[in-house]
Structure 1
Amino acid sequence: MTQTEEKIENFTNSVGVDLSSQFEKQVSRTIQELMDSLENRLIDDETKVDYATHVFAKALDEMVDYLESPKLLN
């Protein structure tokens, strides 16, 4: 088992198989939709990759900010 496969298995065990599968499918679908929307644009592939990297990096930054922000308890 590769290190990547081991990490995926650990994450899957941590969050649960159903949630992990659902999340992976949703992210894959979103990536496919982004690729489809960029397919016919008159920009080079490197720019497409740079744009996609920017979008996902921003989403990860927002997730980190959310997780690091204090939460109100009811």
Structure 2
Amino acid sequence: METRGQEVHLDKVEARSGATPNVVRYILLISLVLVIIALSAIWMTGALNAPDNTGGHADTQQAVAEDGGKMP
């Protein structure tokens, strides 16, 4: 710390009053990876457990075939 008249001049470390480890950067990176894995797992299990439906087209064709080819 240096005093010039009534002004006080501090260097970066003194003004900040502490060290700045990069812990936050690692926490953000790890949590981002965990969120991507969790959301991917939720999406994949939902896709695997969903009924295999093609928008109702297969049901309509099956109903027409059972009806003898007549459309209502």
TM-score range, shorter chain: 0.3 to 0.5
> Which of the pair has more CA radius of gyration?
2
TM-score by length of 1: 0.35
Higher RCO (C-alpha 8 Å, min separation 6)? 1
TM-score by length of 2: 0.36
Higher strand share: 2
Higher helix share: 1
